[in-house]
Structure 1
């Protein structure tokens, strides 16, 4: 039976190694996200929003970061997963849109090609997807500012506000 929760965090803390000692950045986070719900994590700059999100994604360096507690994605524990086991979860069960496009997009590649590549890597569309199939994602792109309408032939720096 499928769980009602798609994300469940229990007592999640994240500590970073600073001068040889681990210092906690976030403490004992508890949250649940049920199927069909939308969750917004808001807070001041430096409050730990991105630290928590990158813990869910498994993007912290395990040599420099300690993550304790439990993070379940569709009842699968992600704390402690690394490499291929975590890569198979990213994109299929969870994704992240980074705040800085320079860390997320390749400035030397057109946006449409990057989206096509991401969809192929995560088996959303096969690698030999036609341009018409890739264009189907324009549906959600239409909800963004006018400058993004031509994303297929744009470079990421042209999308900056």
Structure 2
């Protein structure tokens, strides 16, 4: 009788461990030059003057990259503009080259080269932004 109880306890204990999910570690990125992979999406946000739904603000269209996997951005404590750590970020707003846009990439998988920065203004709608210098820095994946 002692052995079956011990076996039952072992099974219950084992089943409990199998239910515990282990979170994979997030990829860590630093602010600066990066290549991000994911799907380009378009979102509508509230713009100037108050950046909220108050009846006065214009709606603006922004492009973002929805990352394949969320990442963690590590801040640089010596850089007052990029000092904040950001955990579990899955969407990054794309700051497009002046006078150009990424509408051609909406809904497509892409790799985008740019400079990862911390959001600073009301025009930045995600905690981190990706500034793209040129449309040639956008590679559509097939």
> Do both share a fold (TM > 0.5)?
no
Larger Rg: 2
Higher helix share: 1
Higher strand share: 2
Question: TM-score range, shorter-chain basis?
Answer: under 0.3
TM-score (norm 2): 0.21
